[in-house]
Structure 1
């Protein structure tokens, strides 16, 4: 799933390539992806892209060319969605329901430059909204403070009294916006904290370490990602990961074997040597959790 660094990089890419270009046409290939109907996406025809922004893990393409009628084309890419930039595209409208294409935006002229919103797999969760105000998107209205906008004291306040496990809490978008499964694994590894540590029981020193890890992991990932072409971002993300999706490989810090805990529809990875005092956490599919 694209997280804060990748969505920030996609917004940057659009600011560099789409600004001041008019919409020639929008092709909708998946009606289920479009979650709003008034105004219709066809209402963007002739509108000019004036910006691109990120709200947590939401990507917004902004149309402020008519100050009295601002519009925002907002996308949540979900688990398997992606934005693909193209310098040219087929002028023939795509057939609905065929392939991964959900929505195509033609800029300048039909068949010219623009971008596609695509989604692989059978679980179609990509969502597109066209709204005058981003706060009209339910997921944005519920977002907590952005992970890179929090001060240390604000971060500590969010943890105070919380009984959730760290892994659960820091991916909760209503608490902290922008962090997903991959970067939460990396943050906890960098902070040398167990995924199952209780958020509200951290010492002041551990809070400092977790905050510093969150800042460094996300900032470093943004710096690596911004400026990359949209097609290179997935590979760039994978190359920077130390424990996530590396189960069975040696930890690059201590050399211990990276382990995995799996659930029905997701999993996470961690290093016992760095995070749990050498004690493995049992895979819940196979046995009871070792506390």
Structure 2
């Protein structure tokens, strides 16, 4: 991580590309450094015409030569912004697993990696060392699509259930990417989630069976699921 004043370092520099690794947004600069943003649960990036004022929870605002601005807003103050010439120094960056959308993440590879974890299914899915890029919302969607209780312990899964989980991961992410590309356009700060099946839909009918969707809140995040389509019993957390 580079020392000194970040504003001084960025002034006059040019972004040469835009990339992503897992949940990290990568903005390489023309001097070899990289601006890295990890938005965590609630971070949003806005690119467009300048807003008239800074908003509460605006963590970073960059005025660009074309008159536009790049603004990072974090409603929960959980995200991180780094300026570095060595990505290995960014916490948790090098420990990430393969991309969740990587074609090489076959069922065999998925099963092997899954076998290294013993926690709850949802917790494993959101563990970035397992696979990179799955967050709270899409973990809920994947579990629902697979018909699996999110608090099931990984060792209890059968081979068929592992295959269903892998298939659900592929399907949910592919459909979400297609939907977001069609609907979001250049408004990258807009959160579009009305197409999701269960996440954020507590009390609404399950799209599959019609039963009201349940919600459990733990560790600053909500888990949504259908108790009929995803049967299971929460027996408390274990190590």
| TM-score (structure 2 length as normaliser) | 0.87
String of CA shifts for 1:182-230, please: whole Å, max 9, x gaps: 1000000000111122223322221111111001111111122236245
Cα 1:264–1:131 change in 2 (3 A) is: closer
Q: Which runs of 5+ in 1 are unaligned?
A: 1-34, 283-287
Contact conserved, 2:47 with 2:188, CA < 8 A, in 1? no
Contact conserved, 1:41 with 1:130, CA < 8 A, in 2? no
Alignment counterpart, residue 106 of structure 1, candidates 50, 53, 63: 63
Indicate the structure whose relative CO is greater, using CA pairs within 8 Å and at least 6 residues apart. Answer: 1
Contact conserved, 1:243 with 1:251, CA < 8 A, in 2? yes
1:140-151 alignment runs, 5 A limit:
140-149=93-102, 150-151=105-106
Distance 2:142 2:7 in 1: 38
Shift of 1:262: 2.1
Who is 1:266 aligned against? 221
- 2:149 alignment partner, SS class: coil
Shift of 1:259: 1.0
Alignment counterpart, residue 164 of structure 1, candidates 119, 125, 128: 119
Please say if 1:85 is aligned against 2:52: no
Distance 1:107 1:240 in 2: 34
Q: Which has the larger radius of gyration?
A: 1
Query: Which moves more between the two structures, 159-168 or 265-274?
Result: 159-168
Shift of 1:167: 1.3
Question: Alignment RMSD, CA only?
Answer: 2.4
Contact conserved, 1:104 with 1:115, CA < 8 A, in 2? yes
Cα 1:147–1:197 change in 2 (3 A) is: same
Alignment counterpart, residue 125 of structure 1, candidates 78, 103, 108: 78
Alignment counterpart, residue 28 of structure 2, candidates 24, 49, 62: 62
Alignment counterpart, residue 52 of structure 1, candidates 2, 6, 18: 18
Who is 2:8 aligned against? 42
Distance 1:174 1:118 in 2: 26
Q: How many residues align?
A: 233
Contact conserved, 2:99 with 2:132, CA < 8 A, in 1? yes
Which has more helix, going by share of residues? 1
Distance 2:41 2:21 in 1: 17
Contact conserved, 1:39 with 1:130, CA < 8 A, in 2? no
Alignment counterpart, residue 251 of structure 1, candidates 203, 206, 214: 206
Shift of 1:46: 2.1
Distance 1:38 1:216 in 2: 45
Who is 2:133 aligned against? 178
- 2:224 alignment partner, SS class: strand
Distance 2:64 2:189 in 1: 22
Distance 1:233 1:202 in 2: 37
Contact conserved, 1:83 with 1:230, CA < 8 A, in 2? no
Contact conserved, 1:225 with 1:233, CA < 8 A, in 2? no
